[in-house]
Amino acid sequence: MGEVSTIGADLAKSVFQVHGADASGAVLFRKKLRRHQVLTLLAGQPLCTVAMEACGSAHHWAREIARLGHAVRLIPPAYVKMP
């Protein structure tokens, strides 16, 4: 298992889905988090790229996550892959 290089976040009203992967794309973790837990989890991760769908609250979360040092990417809904 490698170090987290990419984190995908699905933003919602109260419960967020967060998915971490290494450079080869192998899944390292999948978590359901409440709003107040998101920044705590990301603060404990190595600096990486955090991707999320561009939506109403995404810009707020992007600013907060960028303050932690992560590179944030907002992606169009058409490119969000659903399992």
- Residue 81 pLDDT: 66
The span from the CA of 18 to the CA of 39, in Å, is: 11
- Residue 63 pLDDT: 96
Length of the chain, in residues: 83
Q: What is the mean pLDDT of the chain?
A: 90
> Nearest 5 degrees, angle CA 68-CA 20-CA 26?
145
Domains (ranges, CATH) in the chain? 6-79 (3.30.420.40)
- pLDDT 10s digits, 6-24: 999 998 888 999 999 999 9
The span from the CA of 64 to the CA of 70, in Å, is: 10
pLDDT at 32 over 60: yes
pLDDT class of 77 with cuts at 50, 70, 90: confident
The span from the CA of 44 to the CA of 68, in Å, is: 10
- Residue 60 pLDDT: 94
